[in-house]
């Protein structure tokens, strides 16, 4: 009890201006920062996968399956931050038993179920079905049974069947693009709809969330492709260059939208502009100016502009090894910047009083359900799942069977 009192006193000492008692403690904490960050990675990875299937960008084909498995691994974990934050995960079933079509948060359950079952799982199954059949024929033991079960009994790998699979994948991907926008766009929609909060209330918030999701997803797949390429000792430089170019374009659009939103707020110059300026220059200076703007946006933009062939050819020619290192460093910095963006929206929007005359602080706990440790675990679990998926469903070209074994082609 004494420790809690001391912590409360420390917080109160840092409170500035006029704050109501119920505004000192933030209701949305680190878990709500992790949630939109994870859903953004899902949407961005899927959008990257669609470049090859829908827009016929052949250079990024080596990352197609890796992007799908990455999206699936993170999507399976996406609801956990919300469920842990609510405290009663079993109550989430009420969303499906007593649906409320007027609640954006409630409708997320249906969007999530649609995206998981109809989009991601179906696309992965159709894309892998032929390989699953061939793996099951060639393998023995547990892996054979796993791959055989995953075929769901559909073992026809004739040309007509495989062609149907390709058409189905393309059709599902086309449906999946707007579904990915809905999956992550609704998060920005919720924040942008809070009219009482001038930090959130903006029509550009959903669009900024979408483009930052695309940026984070491309950056994550680039990191994974580079690291797995080092382990496998093989990756295509043309693929990395194209990924870096798309990352540069998406980052430019995202940064432009954020600047436009900032300029719009300055032009409106509402009564909240003074407290928001104080918020940026004090509480959010490190996370917004240093981490999000400079470290996570401007620095990667400069690196990619000079090294990647975003303008047709690199402005400065570097050896391939150094170019890969710059790509990796830029992608990591971008992840830091995108996470800072989520932090600044969720936490930053709760740091000023409703009277627009005072600021409070957020003290992040290390332990507990809302603490740093749980959030780190939630961010690490998708990589464990991805490792399992990659072992069971290798996404690499060299792992895909080229033809059925002799005597087994006529199913």
Segment 74-103, tens digit of pLDDT: 999 998 998 888 888 888 788 878 888 877
- The Cα 260–Cα 171 span in angstroms is 35
Position 384 confidence tier, pLDDT thresholds 50, 70, 90: very high
Position 410 confidence tier, pLDDT thresholds 50, 70, 90: very low
Q: Is 50 exceeded by the pLDDT of residue 1?
A: yes
- The Cα 129–Cα 165 span in angstroms is 8
Note the pLDDT of residue 405: 46
For residues 36-71, one letter each, b for 16 or more C-beta atoms within 10 angstroms of the residue's C-beta and e for the rest, the string is: bbbbbbbbbbbbbbbbbbbeebebbbbbbbbbbbbb
How many Cα atoms within 13 Å fall on the side-chain side of residue 392?
20
- The Cα 206–Cα 208 span in angstroms is 6
Note the pLDDT of residue 206: 87
Position 4 confidence tier, pLDDT thresholds 50, 70, 90: low
Q: Is 70 exceeded by the pLDDT of residue 12?
A: no
Query: Taking the model in full, what pTM does it have?
Result: 0.91
- The Cα 330–Cα 219 span in angstroms is 8
Position 406 confidence tier, pLDDT thresholds 50, 70, 90: very low
């Amino acid at each position: 009890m004494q420790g809690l009192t001391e912590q409360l006193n420390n917080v109160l000492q840092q409170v500035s201006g006029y704050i109501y008692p119920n505004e000192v403690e933030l209701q949305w904490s680190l878990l709500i920062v992790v949630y939109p960050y994870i859903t953004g990675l899902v949407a961005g990875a899927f959008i990257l996968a669609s470049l090859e299937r829908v827009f016929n960008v052949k250079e990024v084909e080596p990352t197609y399956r890796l992007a799908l498995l990455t999206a699936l691994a993170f999507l399976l974990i996406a609801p956990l931050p919300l469920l842990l934050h609510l405290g009663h995960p079993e109550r989430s079933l009420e969303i499906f038993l007593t649906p409320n079509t007027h609640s954006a948060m409630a409708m997320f359950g249906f969007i999530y179920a649609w995206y998981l079952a109809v989009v991601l799982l179906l696309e992965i199954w159709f894309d892998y079905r032929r390989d699953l059949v061939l793996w099951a024929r060639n393998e023995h033991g547990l892996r054979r049974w796993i791959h055989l079960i995953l075929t769901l009994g559909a073992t026809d790998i004739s040309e007509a069947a495989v062609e149907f699979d390709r058409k189905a994948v393309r059709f599902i991907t086309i449906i999946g693009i707007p579904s990915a926008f809905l999956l992550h766009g609704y998060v920005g929609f919720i924040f942008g709809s809070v009219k009482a909060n001038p930090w959130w209330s903006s029509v550009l918030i959903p669009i900024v969330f979408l483009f930052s999701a695309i940026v984070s997803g491309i950056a994550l797949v680039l990191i994974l492709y580079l690291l797995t390429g080092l382990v496998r000792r093989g990756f295509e430089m043309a693929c990395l260059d194209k990924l870096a170019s798309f990352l540069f374009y998406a980052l430019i659009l995202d940064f432009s939208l954020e600047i436009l939103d900032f300029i719009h707020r300055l032009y409106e110059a509402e009564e909240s502009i003074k407290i928001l300026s104080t918020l940026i220059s004090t509480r959010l200076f490190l996370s917004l100016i240093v981490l999000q703007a400079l470290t996570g946006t401007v620095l990667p933009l400069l690196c990619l502009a000079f090294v990647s062939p975003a303008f047709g050819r690199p402005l400065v020619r570097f050896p391939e090894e150094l170019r890969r290192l710059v790509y990796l460093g830029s992608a990591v910095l971008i992840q830091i910047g995108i996470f800072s963006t989520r932090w600044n929206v969720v936490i930053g929007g709760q740091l000023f009083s409703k009277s627009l005359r005072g600021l409070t602080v957020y003290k992040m706990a290390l332990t507990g359900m809302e603490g740093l440790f749980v959030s780190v675990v939630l961010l690490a679990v998708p990589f464990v799942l991805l490792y399992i998926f990659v072992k069971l469903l290798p996404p690499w070209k060299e792992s895909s069977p080229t033809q059925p074994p002799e005597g087994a082609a006529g199913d």
